[in-house]
Structure 1
Amino acid sequence: MNSTLRQQILFDLDDTLVHCNKYFDLILDQFADLLTDWFKPYGIATEEIREKQTEIDVAGVHQIGFASSHFPESLVDTYRYYARLTGRKLLSEEEDRLMKLGLSVYEQPIEPYPGMVETLNLLRNQGHELHLYTGGETGIQQRKIEQMRLADYFEDRIYIRQHKNIEALEDILQSRRFDRSRSWMIGNSLRTDVMPALSAGIKAIYIKIPNEWLYNIMELRHDGDAEMHTVTSLEEVPRVIFNHLHQAERQKRTL
């Protein structure tokens, strides 16, 4: 491939290449059922419990990033909130049960999104340079990477960060000497994938998924020259990149 056509493509992992949110939702359904039962005499609604947990969860991620202990702690903190609110006695065995429930989310099977292998194979075979950039703890994310054999595609171009923001992305872009005019960020999060990419002057493809985690949703503010595309599936990504390159080549020939 002509070097001017070869793109440097950064992929997010969770809910871009592999499923993630749906496992948290399963645990949260069990959690909300437990608390609804425990606080039944006080008339606490399931929806109210889910909203309070989300509030506590999102506030914590803003502070400490993607630490594995945070999610189960958010379940316990929600339980404590309602115990204080209602005067119900806190029980250590109930807190232990919630911690174990929260931690079990990291033991769920790893399931690729439809078209993961085909998409990565196509882009690699077209000569593009693939990178993986994910938020979380190294041990947990590395297990997913190994189970999905993603090193076959990304080799040593894998970056795991507890805080996934503009500073982390800038560090990666500078460490590998990315050509920003040929670089892309692919992901499902407006907050941690798209906004940092546009701020860093690289192109972004936003994969819009249903039932997105509240933390990932934000209002975009960026330079009007920044290039962003929105798709609804991973399988659409190669077409977007191909069309961009085709259009760029056509414009060059008309100059």
Structure 2
Amino acid sequence: MPDSITTIGFDADDTLWQNEQFFRLTEARFTDLLKDHADTENLPARLLAAEKRNLGLYGFGIKGFVLSMIETAVEVTDGRVPSSVIAEIIAAGREMLIHPVEPLPHVKETLEALHGTFRLVIITKGDLFDQERKLAASGLGDYFNAVEIVSDKTVATYDRIFRHHGDGPSKSLMVGNSLKSDIVPALDAGSWGIYVPHALTWAFEHHDKPDSHPRFREIIDLGGLPDVLQTLGE
């Protein structure tokens, strides 16, 4: 174990627990709701465009997703979307906000193995209330020394968090499923980045792998994290 690593940051959604699958299921439900009212062939692209357009206003998370679905429904129906469809979209959002939390494989045993040896920090985007709810429902909160729920993940974000909760980016490591949000900005801040791919990743989070970066690693699931930590610095 390299002595230089003192702090490990973890993304939450689709790194510690399932998340994107519920967005995909709700999007399918959204398409079904609109099939009798509009051409749904380009609906996913229209919805994604609305989500990207609204990130600066609503931020990341379910509430912004629901508002973007409503906006898209109004747009693609030229304002003729029935109120019953809007009600169904709101209901779908509520269901997402109360859905049980499902930790991913090997998460608990990995956190148990690392807790007490490293400072563990959750670094996640999204709605404050929803992320706090999911953390409480996950049963994983006691493993972490700190929780940072941020509006976005940038180089400055990782620099600030790893200086505040650790010994700076160079002695820190970020683990996550998003190359764009979890890995690349953390590497640019000077930390290590451990990529854990998830079967479902939002299109907004896609990015080329920084394979040539000396501090980039990839593992199949979180169960491989303790072993890869042993190889850092070799």
Aligned partner of 2:73 in structure 1 is 79
Question: Which position in structure 1 is the counterpart of 2:31?
Answer: 32
Q: Which residue of 2 aligns with 1:196?
A: 185
Equivalent residue number for residue 102 of structure 1: 93
SS in 2 for 1:111: coil
Larger of the two Rg values belongs to structure: 1
Of 99-108 and 60-69, deviating more is 60-69
How many residues are aligned here? Answer: 234
Q: Is the 8 A contact 1:8 1:131 kept in 2?
A: yes
Q: CA RMSD in A?
A: 2.3
Match of 1:250 in 2: none
Amino acid at match of 1:37: D
Q: TM-score, normalization: structure 1?
A: 0.82
Q: Contact 1:58–1:214 at 8 Å: present in 2 too?
A: no
1:153 aligns with 2:143: yes
Maintained 8 Å contact 2:121/2:147: yes
Superposed CA offset, 1:155-192 (max 9, x none):
4x111112232232222123234243321000011121
2:42 corresponds in structure 1 to: 48
Task: State the alpha-carbon separation in 1 of the partners of residues 204 and 99 from structure 2.
Answer: 21
- TM-score norm. by structure 2 comes to 0.89
Residues 220, 60 of structure 1: CA spacing in aligned structure 2 closer, same or farther, 3 A cutoff? farther
1:23: Cα distance to partner? 0.9
Which of 1 and 2 has higher RCO (CA within 8 Å, sep 6+)? 2
Give the corresponding residue for 2:229.
Answer: 241
Matched, 1:140 2:130: yes
Higher helix residue share: 1
Seen in structure 2, the aligned counterparts of structure 1 residues 63 and 206 have a Cα distance that, compared at 3 Å, is: farther
| Pair 1:200–1:6, CA change in 2 (3 A) | closer
1:138 CA drift (Å): 1.9
Deviation at 1:62, TM superposition (A): 5.2
The one-character-per-residue Cα deviations of 1:203-251 (angstroms, maximum 9, x if unpaired) are: 00111122311011124679x6551112221212221111225x2xxxx
**Compared CA separation, residues 219 and 38, structure 1 to 2 (3 A):** same
Q: Which moved more, 1:13-22 or 1:140-149?
A: 140-149
Residue aligned with 2:167, SS:
coil
* Structure 2: segments with no counterpart, 5+ residues: none
Assess if the C-alpha contact under 8 Å between 2:121 and 2:144 holds in 1.
yes
Structure 1 counterpart of 2:228, one-letter code: V
Identical counterparts, % of pairs: 27
Partner residue of 2:201 out of 187, 191, 212: 212
- Unaligned 5+ segments in structure 1 are 248-255
Distance in 1 (CA, whole Å) between partners of 2:97 and 2:154 is 23
**Residue 51 of structure 1: CA displacement?**
2.2
Contact 2:9/2:121 (<8 A) preserved: yes
